[in-house]
């Protein structure tokens, strides 16, 4: 069974601070997606990474896919209250259309 | 692009009745649609996967006779919760993807409350 573990589960930080969320597995994935979900809404896709070692930037967010395609990280620089939400990583394989979701990281950015 | 809608956004029903939730891909043809359930402060739990024109594949522990899924076209899938009970109260979210695509695009979710 493929599992994705996210850490930390919950993070409360002050506006302006930096943070990193981790997504780890013992399995290899062909793709890794990151989503952000706000209360009462569906997840919104932030990024997809498919190549080992790949780094993508989305404004203050930096995403990295591990060289072995087993792990990923999301780094937020100078967090803002608008970054508050549930961050989910999800891994995909070529053998299935399904995504394996991590347990999620709940981020609270205090003004 | 890649917009998915869900209807209704909220529904309250009485125990024993059935509720239908619609999921539509508005600007692309969704060869595969997924239905998830989400409990408060938890991640997504996949219920079933449906491909257009074929029967849905249910995850272990999900009752197919209770959660009826129909994927009649490339832009519409429906989830019917039959004989709903209070324990079925939850946030239901659909997603859609197209053949060869890694990503899933999610609808805004439906909050079901069974009284």
Give the model's confidence band at A36: pLDDT under 50 very low, under 70 low, under 90 confident, else very high.
very high
> What is the average pLDDT value for chain B, to the nearest integer?
92
Largest CA distance in chain B: 41
Note the pLDDT of residue A1.
67
pLDDT band at B52 (very low <50, low <70, confident <90, very high): confident
Chain B residues near residue A31 by CB distance under 8 angstroms: 102
Mean pLDDT of B13-34: 93
pLDDT at B111 over 70: yes
What end-to-end distance do the CA atoms of chain A give, in Å?
A: 40
**What confidence score (pLDDT) does residue A12 get?**
97
Q: Mark yes or no for CB contact B106/A44 under 8 Å.
A: yes
A72 touches chain B (CB under 8 A): no
Whether A40 contacts chain B with CB within 8 A: yes
Evaluate whether A15 touches A80 at the Cβ level (below 8 Å): yes
Strand extents, DSSP E, chain B: 4-7, 10-13, 19-25, 32-38, 44-51, 57-58, 67-73, 76-81, 90-97, 105-106, 110-114
Partner-chain contact B108 A48, CB within 8 Å: no
Pick the residue from chain A with its C-alpha nearest to B51.
A97
């Amino acid at each position: 069974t493929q599992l994705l573990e996210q850490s930390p589960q919950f993070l409360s930080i002050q506006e302006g601070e930096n943070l990193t969320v981790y997504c780890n597995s013992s399995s290899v994935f062909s793709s890794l997606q990151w989503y952000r979900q706000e209360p009462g809404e569906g997840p919104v896709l932030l990024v997809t990474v498919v190549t080992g070692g790949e780094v993508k930037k989305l404004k203050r967010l930096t995403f990295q896919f591990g060289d072995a395609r087993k792990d990923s990280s999301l780094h937020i620089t100078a967090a803002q209250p608008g970054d508050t939400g549930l961050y989910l990583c999800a891994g995909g394989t070529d053998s299935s259309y399904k995504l394996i979701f991590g347990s999620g990281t709940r981020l609270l950015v205090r003004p | 692009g890649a917009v998915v809608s869900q209807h209704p956004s909220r529904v309250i029903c009485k125990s024993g009745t059935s509720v239908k939730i619609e999921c539509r891909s508005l600007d692309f043809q969704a060869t595969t649609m997924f239905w998830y359930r989400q409990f408060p402060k938890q991640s997504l739990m996949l219920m079933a996967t449906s491909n257009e024109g074929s029967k849905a594949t249910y995850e272990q522990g999900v009752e197919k006779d209770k959660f009826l899924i129909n994927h009649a076209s490339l832009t519409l899938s429906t989830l019917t919760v039959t004989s709903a009970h209070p324990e079925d109260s939850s946030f239901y979210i659909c997603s859609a993807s197209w053949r060869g695509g890694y990503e899933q695009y999610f609808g805004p979710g439906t909050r079901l409350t069974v009284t």
